A and B are shown apart, each in its own frame.
Chain A
Amino acid sequence: MFTKLGGLSLEPKSVPPPKRTGWIGRGNCHMEKATIDLKRDGKDLSGRVHQLPCCVKHDGPASVSHYFKPKHKGVGEDEGLPLQEAHFRGRLLQGTTLPLPHGYSGFVLSKSSPPTSDENSHSWDTKATFQDITYWNHDYSPSQNDELFRAFHWLTVAKALHNPVTPEELASSSVTL
């Protein structure tokens, strides 16, 4: 099955409890509860998660492994990215595989039937995990300027933002102010 980017969830690998409950606030102050079960015992889809440069109006299984046959094409001349080629509905796609950064995993979630009948409660189960994403462009080579490539910058920024501040850093910051 092709995976849409919106369906992916990137979570730090080091989450100690397998189950996490989050309270998500909305504008109208109505609280929603969502439960995500980040188990790792599902299927490993590494090497098999693809983002296509088109909209396929289909949601469900497809015989991907029998029909979608990417071929490795060495290294691109411009930026040294490892290149792949594939064809979909006759169009040439050029792609590259992006490994997820160290400490991160990809999860494919599916909504599960909730144990309670609480309408405001949503439960998500892990169907599979992955460690990389292959994204494809139509008609032009993958580039570090592509949106998905640049989206990973956020992980670096987020890490810096969420690092704990040491007392020494706090003290020196106070002195500076």
Chain B
Amino acid sequence: MGSKILPKWASKPCVMGIDEAGRGPVLGPMVYGCLYCSQSYLKTLSTLSFADSKTLKEEKREELFETLKLNDSIGWDVDVIDPRELSAKMLKKNKINLNEISHSSAMGLIDRVLKMGVLLTEVYIDTVGDAGKYEMKLSNSFPSIKFVVAKKADSLYPVVSGASIVAKVTRDRALREWVLDETAENMQRNFGSGYPGDPQTKSWLEDHKHHIFGFPSLVRFSWGTCNSYFKDAAEVLWESDNLDEDGGGSNNKNGKRQLKLSNVGFTTSKRSEEIESSGKGRCRFFQARKLEHLTYF
């Protein structure tokens, strides 16, 4: 994360680039990276052989990252967003989409660097969603900074090219060193690139799908890619999946929505197959606590 002691150049006008890596893959973290330097250093920066990380080979990216870390005239930082966090946010009852997650991550990096005392005056960033709206959002949060939100910013601006290297190398290393939470014996780590179209990734997903649990938690369950693998898995019904359905839920006393399983096609008169206790037909004390009187089993 660079030196903890604020360098002298940071109290003069500085420029930052922000870029991400790992937005599209179905597994592993998404990483936002930033790189910043003084305005006066920009010319020198452009003479270094940074390029859009996507045009470089892995060895070259690694080499440039190490060079960058040793450069006292450059600062950098990353936000590594865990795949579990991505899935959890995108599958919330009040869903948070990937663009919102991206915006928050980028703004978090700016905030972190400002709090270090760096005098940021300009930030260059690749657009996520509508460029105009994004720029307005950023300017509202950081009025003292001039923002340039553009497509292909990683090709156009050296600070963004550098940021893309920071993000890409960080993601590659995170994935390479990933420790799977799951302890089942058949866990392999030949994920491939993680992109849905990668044959190696497809093969890994096929080999690691699980009837009950879906996949190891390295996988982004919120990706549409996962749905085709879930066809054979046990069906799981969640309250938040039925919020749009009429009568799909109702509020209990505490204002929390309760799933009515009978409204989602799960109806049965057999005692042993009922899932949800309801306390129906009993006095209010028992209904409020969903306590049924089980007289026969």
Contact = CB atoms under 8 A, between A and B. Distances in A.
B256 A140 contact: yes
Interface stretch (B62-70, B72-80, B169-177, B234-242): B234-242
Interface in B185-230: 210-214, 216-217, 219-222, 226
A66 B183 contact: yes
B213 A67 contact: yes
A122 interface: yes
B1 interface: no
Given A62-B213, A66-B184, A147-B289, A26 B296 contact: yes
A87 B289 CA distance: 26
Given A6-B294, A89-B221, A57 B237 contact: yes
A90 B290 contact: no
Main secondary structure of the interface of B (DSSP, over half): loop
A151 B291 contact: yes
Given A58-B211, A63-B184, A90-B222, A6 B277 contact: yes
Given A62-B211, A92-B92, A140-B256, 5 more contacts: A4-B275, A6-B277, A57-B236, A90-B84, A150-B288
A26 B297 CA distance: 12
Contact of B289 (A32, A92, A150): A150
Given A62-B213, A63-B184, A26 B238 contact: no
Interface of A: 4-6, 24-26, 32, 34, 53-58, 62-63, 65-69, 87-92, 122, 124, 138-140, 143, 145, 147-148, 150-151, 153-154, 157
A90 B295 contact: no
B289 to A, nearest CB: 4
A66 B285 CA distance: 39
| Chain B: number of interface residues, binned into ranges | 35 or more
Contacts of A58: 211-212, 234
A139 B214 CA distance: 20
B88 interface: yes
B91 A55 contact: no
Q: Top 9 A-B pairs ranked by shortest CB distance?
A: A90-B221, A90-B87, A92-B88, A58-B234, A67-B213, A66-B184, A55-B237, A62-B212, A151-B289
A100 B224 CA distance: 41
B47 interface: no
Contacts of A66: 182-184
A166 B138 CA distance: 74
A145 B290 CA distance: 12
Contacts of B294: 6
A56 B277 contact: no
B59 interface: no
B275 A122 contact: no
B112 interface: no
A88 to B, nearest CB: 7
B261 interface: yes
A89 B237 contact: no
B287 to A, nearest CB: 10
Contact of A87 (B184, B217, B236, B240): B217
